[in-house]
Amino acid sequence: MSTPMHAQIHDVSKWGLRLVLAQPIAVGSAVKVETAGMVDSGEIRYCLRTRDGSFTAGMRIDSTQKLA
């Protein structure tokens, strides 16, 4: 079962996303990120606490699908 989380996308590349989250996410977690018209599926590669108490996580993109 998946638990939805709110995340801000702070960086995008061909192979991944840098996400900013209010809570940590486990390295190795399989995730899906939904944006306007797209769903990226992948894996969390790192998750670090920032000075302001939020968390920055790197997601490797394994696949991208357009939403209908």
**CA-based nearest residue to 37, from 62, 63, 66, 7:** 66
pLDDT confidence of residue 4: 87
- What is the chain's length? 68
pLDDT confidence of residue 25: 96
pLDDT tens-digit series, residues 50-62: 999 999 999 999 9
d(CA 33, CA 15) in angstroms, rounded, equals: 14
The DSSP letter of residue 52 is T
pLDDT tens-digit series, residues 1-42: 578 889 999 999 989 999 999 999 999 999 999 988 999 999
Q: Which two tokens stand for residue 31?
A: 């995730």
pLDDT confidence of residue 18: 97
Give residue limits of the domains in the chain.
Answer: 7-66
